[in-house]
Chains A and B, each alone.
Chain A
Amino acid sequence: MIFGAILAGGVGSRMHMADMPKQFLPLGDKPILIHTLEKFLTCSRFETVYIGTHADWINYTEDLVGKYVPHARGRVRVVCGGENRNETIQNIIAALEADYGPDDDHIIVTHDAVRPFVTLRMLEENIDQALQWGAVDTVTPAVDTIVVSGDGATIRDIPDRKQMYQGQTPQSFRVTLLRELYRSLTEEEKGVLTDACKICVVRDYPVHLVEGSYTNLKITTPGDYKIAQAMVGGDILD
């Protein structure tokens, strides 16, 4: 079975613009999270879409689901997020395995709630490639030259831009693979993880690439939010 995992655990500390986490801010006429959820729900291949959110926001998230997508209430489950992104994913894996039982064929498509511009094409290619390869990342070729600096003061290296990509989400995995690789990491290794694909990279498991889009914007800062609102023609809250 194939499952969606929308990561909505953020508390919005970078936004400074509202009391609520950024995934709940309105974009056009509805919360950012709902835009993302609706796109997942149009993909009929998802058996269930899990939303991992902070414990304090579980009831609120369930209210939103009931309000905006009542017809699909049975395909959505809200679960408690973890300390960080990967812990939230592990919580979702635990929930889906409790619901459906463990199975080597389960696929999970993880995605940032604050990337509402994700397209069905990206979701479907993630599913197709995760079924084939077991681990998939969505990326776009780097536009800017990437500069590496160890000390924050001087350049240590400028890698060949043609080999550089910017990581986005979705990131998709065979569930058992991701669970076992994560369990095999030491606490120190877990400490340096920046995203779920790194779990595979640390253990030398190949992660295949799906083409993302420059418009698959991650709404992280007030500037991103203004850009996103301008893209959909919505009012800018400030």
Chain B
Amino acid sequence: MINQVYQLVSPKVFSVKYDDVSYGDKLIVQPEYMAVCRADQRYYLGQRDAKTLRKKLPMALIHECCGRVVYDPEGTMAGQRVVLIPNVATADSDVIYENYRAGSYFLSSGYDGFMRELVALDRRQVLPCGNVPPQVAAITEFVSVGVHAVERFDRIAHDIRNRIGIWGDGSLAYVVANLLRIRYPHCCLVVVGHSLRKLSLFSFADETYLSDDIPDDLAIDHAFECCGGEGSYAALEDIIRYIRPQGTVMLMGVSENRVPVQTRMVLEKGLTMVGCSRSGRADFEAAVSLMADTALQRRLRAIITEVAPVRSIEDIYRVFSDDLTTPFKTVFQWRL
């Protein structure tokens, strides 16, 4: 059947591409709710470098999405609400995570994301999300990225985990802090951010500090950098300064620019810096399992702003514009 794919062809310009979706081996999913990621917004605003934009566009945006299965060749999943997994692994490995594996690719980075009328996916790219409300299920990919980072941290970091620092007060920091709270209920969580208003949402953290008012004697065993962008440099400076020897630094914030790192101190303290990006199916499964808990659903709802449904291309422009004014995650119903 003819399927409508809503592609970003150049910054702030969408166009419809028509492709053919046939009943075959793949499941067909109708997207229902989507969330905007900062990466989508960077493409929309043209904040990637010109060479990247030339290479990746035209492309449908959005990789955070839940939907309903409208066709399953095996019949078992038809009608179910599912989370869509944008990571596509093309090779197996017992050592390398699928999100870092050579040949893996990602829908909405060089390949069409989920802004389509229908999406045909392999079975391993969908995951039933049970009773998680669709507005919350829409951000499962985002939560899974946090799950992945915490999982890696747990495998890599030394066992002294009395105080963990989180740099950032945005959506990613909030999700990571929540996941750390669940994983390490007795650990002292320290959150450092720019905005008092945003920091106030971290009510479950033990200590919160404004980045320009960090006590000199602050000490943490490990840290998660969740700032990215212009904030990466300052966050890393602080982390390296306040972290104790042999701590692990999980790098999660994306920056378009090169970020200077004070390697002398990294060496002196024997720090481990771990890059973390995206997630794999196992992380989605863990995320959905955690999100079945209504307490976490309530926490996540606190960062979700649901804007009016998208029923036309004009609405897509509106959503990206709205997203610039919402403090955390922008979620919307997809009615195209």
Chain A residues near B (Cβ < 8 Å): 27-30, 34-36, 38-39, 41-44, 68-69, 71-72, 116-117, 119-121, 211, 215, 231-233
Nearest-neighbor residue (CB-CB) of A118 within chain B? B2
In the bound complex, residues from chain B placing their C-beta under 8 Å from that of A41 are: 23, 71
A86–B131 CA distance with the chains assembled, in angstroms: 44
In the bound complex, residues from chain A placing their C-beta under 8 Å from that of B23 are: 38, 41, 68-69, 71-72
A211–B19 CA distance with the chains assembled, in angstroms: 22
Asked whether, in the complex, the Cβ of B336 is within 8 Å of the Cβ of A121, the reply is: yes
Nearest-neighbor residue (CB-CB) of A234 within chain B? B20
List, sorted by A's number, 27 A–B pairs whose CB atoms are closer than 8 Å. Answer: A27-B2, A30-B20, A34-B1, A35-B1, A36-B1, A38-B23, A41-B23, A41-B71, A42-B30, A42-B118, A43-B70, A44-B79, A68-B23, A72-B23, A116-B1, A117-B2, A117-B4, A117-B18, A119-B4, A120-B70, A120-B117, A121-B335, A211-B311, A231-B18, A232-B18, A232-B19, A232-B20
Q: Residue A42 contacts which of B1, B4, B18, B336 (CB distance < 8 angstroms)? A: B1
In the bound complex, residues from chain A placing their C-beta under 8 Å from that of B139 are: none
Asked whether, in the complex, the Cβ of B2 is within 8 Å of the Cβ of A39, the reply is: yes
Q: Residue A29 contacts which of B20, B71, B117 (CB distance < 8 angstroms)? A: B20
Asked whether, in the complex, the Cβ of B311 is within 8 Å of the Cβ of A42, the reply is: no
Tell yes or no: B78 within 8 A of A by CB: yes
Known: A42-B30, A215-B4. 17 other contacts (CB 8 A): A27-B2, A29-B22, A35-B1, A35-B2, A36-B1, A39-B2, A41-B23, A41-B71, A42-B1, A42-B28, A42-B70, A42-B71, A68-B23, A71-B23, A116-B2, A120-B30, A233-B18
In the bound complex, residues from chain B placing their C-beta under 8 Å from that of A119 are: 4, 117, 336
A84–B72 CA distance with the chains assembled, in angstroms: 37
Q: How does the 8 Å CB contact mask read for B271-295 relative to A, with 1 for contact and 0 for none?
A: 0000000000000000000000000
By secondary structure, the B interface counts as loop
Within 8 A of A (CB), among B6-41: 16, 18-23, 28, 30
Tell yes or no: B229 within 8 A of A by CB: no
**Chain B, interface size: which category?**
20 to 34
Asked whether, in the complex, the Cβ of B18 is within 8 Å of the Cβ of A39, the reply is: no
Tell yes or no: B270 within 8 A of A by CB: no
Which residue among B1, B19, B28, B118 has the maximum number of chain A CB atoms within 10 Å of its CB?
Answer: B1
Are A71 and B18 also in contact (CB < 8 A) when A42-B118, A119-B336 are? no
Q: How does the 8 Å CB contact mask read for B185-204 relative to A, with 1 for contact and 0 for none?
A: 00000000000000000000
In the bound complex, residues from chain A placing their C-beta under 8 Å from that of B79 are: 44
Chain B residues near A (Cβ < 8 Å): 1-2, 4, 16, 18-23, 28, 30, 70-71, 73, 78-79, 117-118, 311, 335-336
Asked whether, in the complex, the Cβ of A44 is within 8 Å of the Cβ of B70, the reply is: yes
Are A38 and B1 also in contact (CB < 8 A) when A121-B311, A121-B336, A231-B18 are? yes
Asked whether, in the complex, the Cβ of B18 is within 8 Å of the Cβ of A120, the reply is: no
Which residue among A34, A35, A72 has the maximum number of chain B CB atoms within 10 Å of its CB?
Answer: A35
Asked whether, in the complex, the Cβ of B118 is within 8 Å of the Cβ of A120, the reply is: yes
Minimum CB–CB distance from A118 to chain B (whole Å) comes to 9
In the bound complex, residues from chain B placing their C-beta under 8 Å from that of A232 are: 2, 18-20
A117–B28 CA distance with the chains assembled, in angstroms: 17
